[in-house]
Amino acid sequence: MPKRILQGTVTSTANAQTVTVQVVRRFKHPVLQKTIKKSKKYRAHDEAGLFTVGQQVSIRECAPKSKTKRWEVMTADMLEEHNAARAENAKIQQELDAQRHAEKEAAH
């Protein structure tokens, strides 16, 4: 199962190897059709202590590190690896779509 990746702002670095990240999501209310902002705070593992309050970071799901930590902050290496995997998957999907299109054209 793919790991979820969220983006948010670091709001606290008070604990060792832990940052608190506030993630804001926007969605349209199903009845009122009004755009609503909701936020949630996640505790994320930051082993090297690289991040400070106010920074924009990406966090990804991981195995539980402690009672409250189920996320880890993505470093530059992790982001590069993730983007490379996404690009590879997009390329494969594009090739499959082209194949299906060619088969559909041949069938007509």
Same domain for 66 and 84? no
| pLDDT band, very low/low/confident/very high, at 2 (cuts 50, 70, 90) | low
Residue 78: per-residue pLDDT: 87
Q: How distant, in Å, are the alpha carbons of 3, 28, 83, 106 from that of 53?
A: 25, 29, 25, 58
Residue 10: per-residue pLDDT: 97
**How many domains are contained in the chain?**
2
Domain at 45, CATH number: 2.40.50.140
Bridge partners (DSSP) listed for residue 44? 19, 71
pLDDT at residue 108 tops 90 = no
pLDDT digits (tens, 9 = 90+) for 48-85: 889 999 999 999 999 999 999 999 999 888 889 989 99
pTM across the whole model: 0.78
Averaged over 25-52, what is the pLDDT?
95
Same domain for 28 and 48? yes
